[in-house]
């Protein structure tokens, strides 16, 4: 008996093409611009917020120190401030640190906390005095951010300030200070300051230190003292 031929599969509908963003929302052209062109976008009042945001990021990718002044001018902008910080953070020139430090008195709220975080990422030792003042201030969120930045800076000076803050900080802030101390100790170790790192770990092993940080500090001491790479 002859078999009935199988029905041909129904044609599949064509896949819709992905939407094409309008010209002012395309980043492909910005991704190839040089520093001068990026600065022109950032200075142009007619440039869209999108283009300015992408120009900030691209300036950071290029490490364009000539873009620092125009990026600094955007730090207080409600919408572009975060992108300005992203642009400044990778720029190796010290002028980026100077710009972030100079902006601290002019910023508030999340913009100020963001600048503090950026200074910590850049490990700007010159920011330590300002960070200490913020850590000792009444704004708890800002104090936590300042403590964290001190930990990431990871110098002997920031270690000293964090140790001093441990005995003065109330319970909510003490956890942030202790956590920053652990980060600072690791930075000291990486920088060859082993004795000072162990001293900081010992201070963080005290009974009044929050338990998670105290245990982490004790484990770090054991790790370092039993390491085959420790000084003999």
Using the structure block, give the residue that is written with the tokens 């964090």. Answer: 162
**pLDDT over 90, % of the chain:** 79
Instruction: Tell me if 130 sits within 8 A of 104, measured CB to CB.
Output: yes
The 3-state DSSP class for residue 146 equals helix
More reliable by pLDDT, 10 or 201: 201
CB 128 within 8 A of CB 93: no
pLDDT mean over 65-94: 97
Please report the pLDDT score of residue 231 as a whole number: 67
CA atoms within 13 A on the CB side of 228: 0
- Confidence tier at 8 by pLDDT (50, 70, 90): low
What mean pLDDT do residues 88-113 have? 97
Dig out the tokens for 13 from the structure: 């509908």
Mean pLDDT of 32-39: 95
Which whole number is the average pLDDT over 118-144? Answer: 96
184: closest CA among 169, 170, 198? 198
Q: How many CA atoms lie within 13 A of 138 on its CB side?
A: 0
Residue 74 has pLDDT above 90, yes or no: yes
Higher pLDDT, 91 or 31: 91
pLDDT at residue 167 in the model: 83
Instruction: Kindly indicate the confidence band of residue 129, based on its pLDDT and cuts at 50, 70 and 90.
Output: very high
């Amino acid at each position: 008996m002859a078999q009935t031929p199988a029905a041909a599969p129904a044609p599949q509908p064509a896949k819709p093409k992905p939407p094409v963003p309008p010209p002012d929302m395309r980043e492909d052209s910005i991704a190839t611009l040089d520093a001068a062109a990026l600065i022109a976008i950032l200075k142009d009042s007619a440039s869209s917020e999108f283009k300015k945001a992408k120009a900030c990021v691209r300036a950071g990718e290029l490490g364009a120190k000539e873009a620092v002044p125009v990026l600094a001018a955007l730090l207080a902008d409600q919408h572009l401030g975060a992108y300005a910080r992203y642009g400044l953070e990778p720029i190796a020139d010290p002028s980026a640190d100077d710009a972030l430090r100079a902006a601290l008195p002019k910023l508030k709220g999340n913009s100020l906390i963001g600048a503090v975080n950026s200074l910590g990422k850049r490990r700007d030792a010159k920011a330590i005095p300002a960070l200490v003042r913020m850590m000792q201030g009444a704004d708890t969120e800002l104090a936590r951010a300042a403590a964290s930045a001190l930990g990431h800076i990871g110098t002997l000076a920031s270690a000293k300030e964090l140790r001093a803050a441990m005995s003065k900080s109330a319970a909510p802030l003490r956890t942030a200070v202790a956590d920053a101390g652990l980060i600072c100790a690791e930075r000291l170790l990486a920088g060859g300051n082993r004795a000072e790192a162990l001293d900081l770990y010992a201070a963080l092993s005290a009974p009044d230190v929050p338990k998670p940080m105290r245990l982490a500090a004790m484990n770090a001491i054991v790790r370092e003292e039993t390491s085959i790479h420790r000084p003999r």
